[in-house]
Amino acid sequence: MTETRAATEPRYIVRFGRAERVQHGILMTSFLALAATGLPLLFSGEAWAGVLARLLGGFVFAGLLHRFFALALIGVFVFHVGWLAYRIFVKKERGMLWGPASMSPQPRDLIELYQHVKWFLRVGPRPEFDRFTYWEKFDYWAVFWGMFIIGGSGLMLWFPELFSWFVPGWIFNIAMLVHGEEALLAVGFIFTIHFFNGHLRPEKFPMDLVIFTGRVSEEEFRHERSLELARLAARGVHIDALIGTPPNPRLLRWGRLGGTVAVTVGLSLFVMIIYAFLN
């Protein structure tokens, strides 16, 4: 009886380690907080912005919170770059730079995008994916260029006296424009495209918990990462070697709570932005 139960219980593949999950948690929390504290400042003339700012303790305190979470975002970004450098140069994980397990954009991503469009139009089969899909890579690299554009312009506006030693005054006007517009682009992208890909598309609805628990079911792994499974099998790695412990129940609860809060807050802020533009 016990053997029968064990044979029917789902098995789980370890997809993300603790370091990756913690970094994503800090990134998610700081981005949401930056959006919640920054949008009332950007749309200060809107009635909803005043209400949201008062809920956060007023415009002045919202500005202080905005700077605090900016430091958190910059901190996790710097840590992530150092963590990548350690894995590449110290642990010699050169496969992170190029290859099927790399986040680097590669020609096959364009092929998979083309195949995916054909599948959407029902004129081709569903493409098979390896460890990372093209849209996951796009989300990942969007953070990089966003950090340099939003983070760089934000630091200029935060420390104008310091930067005035190096740049002319008109640069600050551009920094003000770029910071707000790029932030709106990032917020719009994350709260619609990223949320849809991660949680709201039919295969994942209502929520994909893999980034919170680090585990994905064997059935889901076989369906979504068939190329990765075939690649590992060709190297003599059996799927049993990838099996880990089931998701921690506490992580499942916190993941559902955190993900629900993130999606709710994100979509609410996006609706407020649309309302502000239409108004």
Which tens digit of pLDDT belongs to each residue from 7-65?
Answer: 678 899 999 999 999 999 999 999 999 999 999 988 988 888 999 999 999 999 999 99
The phi, psi pair for 14, rounded to 5°, reads -80, 115
Query: What is the model's pTM?
Result: 0.89
CA 253 to CA 251: how far, in whole Å?
Answer: 5
- Would you list the DSSP string of 218-241? HHHHHHH-HHHHHHHHHTT--GGG
Percentage of the chain beyond pLDDT 70 is 97
β-pairing, 12-14 with 215-217?
Answer: antiparallel
Asked if 248 contacts 147 with a C-beta cutoff of 8 angstroms, the reply is: no
Mean pLDDT of the chain: 91
Q: How far, CA to CA in Å, does 111 sit from each of 79, 114, 123, 221? A: 33, 5, 15, 21
Distance spanning both ends of the chain, measured CA to CA? 64
Q: What is the pLDDT at residue 6?
A: 55
pLDDT-derived band of residue 200, with 50, 70 and 90 as boundaries?
A: confident
Asked if 100 contacts 227 with a C-beta cutoff of 8 angstroms, the reply is: yes
Sheet bearing 243-244, strands edge to edge: 215-217, 12-14, 243-244
